[in-house]
Amino acid sequence: MKKFQRIFAVVVCLLLVLALLAGCGQKAENKQEETSQTQAQQSETKSTEPQKMYIPVISKGFQHQFWQAVKLGAEKAAKDYNVEITFEGPESESMVDKQIEMLQAALNKNPSAICLAALDSKAVIPYLEKAKESNIPVIGFDSGVDSDIPVATAATNNVAAAAAAADKMAELVGGKGEIAVIVHDQTSRTGIDRRDGFVKRIQEKYKGIKIVDIQYGGGDQLRSTDLAKAIIQAHPNLKGFFGANEGSAIGVLNAVKELKKEGKIVVIGYDAGKQQLDAIRSGVEAGAITQDPIGIGYKAVEAAVKAVKGEKLEKNIDTGFHWYDKTNIDSEEIKPLLYE
């Protein structure tokens, strides 16, 4: 009898254990089912939420404050239009291959659109063709390309701006004498247009002025300084010098100061930056052309958003330019366009 009771007790215990295990299994299964349902609901909710546009903004570089001002404008537009952007560029404006790597990397992310300030107006074309094949709108900014693929370009009319600088140069040197030019490059649209705008205006309108040399400093201050010093030393009667971007102009200023030619050579620059602003206030630099870098960055991102939405865009978005010197450098019109 006792043996039977022990067997009965063991059987009852086993049945209880099995019942408990079955209950735990059912709970686990129910919990797993609830988790799966929750995840599915979350996934469904996410899929119905509109995805932010992603727009990479690829500049020519970061070495000048000009690009930091462009970045501010691009970030403001991104906030206003609720889109995601990245802003990048190579270490210097001579690194065409580096910029092309950045462009390829951006394309690999399948963005909504791309904003590009091309260092080489021809080298980027195969990559723009890839963007077109993938239905990715391209917006040029600051510098256009030799292609119709960009649906719009937000930039200064650099030909007209450089021609205005030439008119000022002619006025300040008295319509005659020798002058020289340093340009950042001869591959980007800005380099080509600023050089040609300045040179053609001088050649066509001011026959008494001779351009004795044109050099390319890659936008690098030190290289531009060496080039400017060599030109000044080779042409002791030089009366004027045009620097076609911030780095070029600072190089000219450095050369003029090192060779003690302040007041003897008329210096005209482009863009801004602390060194140019100080030089203009002190009279070492006669004046410069200012763009609207914040406006360029803003309008580029704005145009990209509109392009994605299929809205109509002007092919060339003119962001404007102004001449400034010590008479208007602190004016309400000019001061917001300058950066240090």
| Pairwise pLDDT comparison (105 vs 21), residue with the higher score | 105
Q: Quick check: is 251 in a domain?
A: yes
Among 330, 321, 293, smallest CA distance to 197 is for: 321
Classify each residue of 289-324 as buried b or exposed e, where b means 16 or more C-beta atoms within 10 Å of its C-beta: bbbbbbbbbbbbbbbbbbbbeeeebeeebebebbbb
Same domain (yes/no): 309, 276:
no
Task: Domain count for the chain, please give it.
Answer: 2
Per-residue pLDDT tens over the stretch 21-47: 555 455 445 545 554 454 545 544 444
Q: Would the pLDDT of 6 be above 90?
A: no
Same domain (yes/no): 163, 123:
no
Q: Given pLDDT bands bounded at 50, 70 and 90, which one contains residue 62? A: confident
Same domain (yes/no): 199, 129:
no
CATH number of the domain within which 192 lies: 3.40.50.2300
Q: What is the CA radius of gyration of the chain?
A: 31
Q: Quick check: is 120 in a domain?
A: yes
Q: Would the pLDDT of 55 be above 50?
A: yes
Q: Quick check: is 329 in a domain?
A: no
Tokens at 247, concatenated: 């780095």
Q: Tell me which of 66-70, 110-114, 190-194 is least confident.
A: 66-70
Per-residue pLDDT tens over the stretch 176-188: 999 999 999 999 9
Mean pLDDT of the region 211-226: 97
Mean pLDDT of the region 219-245: 97
Same domain (yes/no): 139, 209:
no
In this prediction, residue 32 carries a pLDDT of 53
Same domain (yes/no): 82, 168:
no
Distance CA 149, CA 151 (A): 6
Q: Tell me which of 13-17, 99-103, 233-237 is least confident.
A: 13-17
In this prediction, residue 285 carries a pLDDT of 98
Among 161, 122, 143, smallest CA distance to 61 is for: 143
Same domain (yes/no): 304, 273:
no
Q: Quick check: is 106 in a domain?
A: yes
Q: Quick check: is 103 in a domain?
A: yes
Task: Give me the helix-helix angle, 158-172 and 189-205, nearest 10°.
Answer: 40
Per the prediction, the chain carries an average pLDDT of 89
Q: Would the pLDDT of 1 be above 90?
A: no
CA dihedral 61, 65, 67, 73 (to 10 degrees): 160
Q: Quick check: is 237 in a domain?
A: yes
Q: Given pLDDT bands bounded at 50, 70 and 90, which one contains residue 51? A: confident
Domain residue limits at 304: 54-156+293-320
Mean pLDDT of the region 109-121: 96
Q: Quick check: is 273 in a domain?
A: yes
How far is CA 237 from each of CA 92, 176, 265, 307, rounded to the nearest angstrom? 33, 11, 9, 52
Per-residue pLDDT tens over the stretch 283-337: 999 999 999 999 999 999 999 999 999 999 999 999 999 999 999 999 999 998 9
How far is CA 262 from each of CA 252, 253, 255, 286, 337, rounded to the nearest angstrom? 11, 9, 10, 11, 26
Which conformational region is residue 170 in: left (phi greater than 0), alpha (psi within -120 to 50 degrees), or beta? alpha
Same domain (yes/no): 117, 136:
yes
Same domain (yes/no): 191, 247:
yes
Residue % of the chain over a pLDDT of 90: 80
Same domain (yes/no): 147, 163:
no
Same domain (yes/no): 179, 151:
no
Same domain (yes/no): 83, 163:
no
Q: Quick check: is 34 in a domain?
A: no
pTM for the predicted model, two decimal places: 0.78
Same domain (yes/no): 274, 200:
yes
Half-sphere exposure of 7 (CA within 13 A, CB side): 4
In this prediction, residue 309 carries a pLDDT of 96
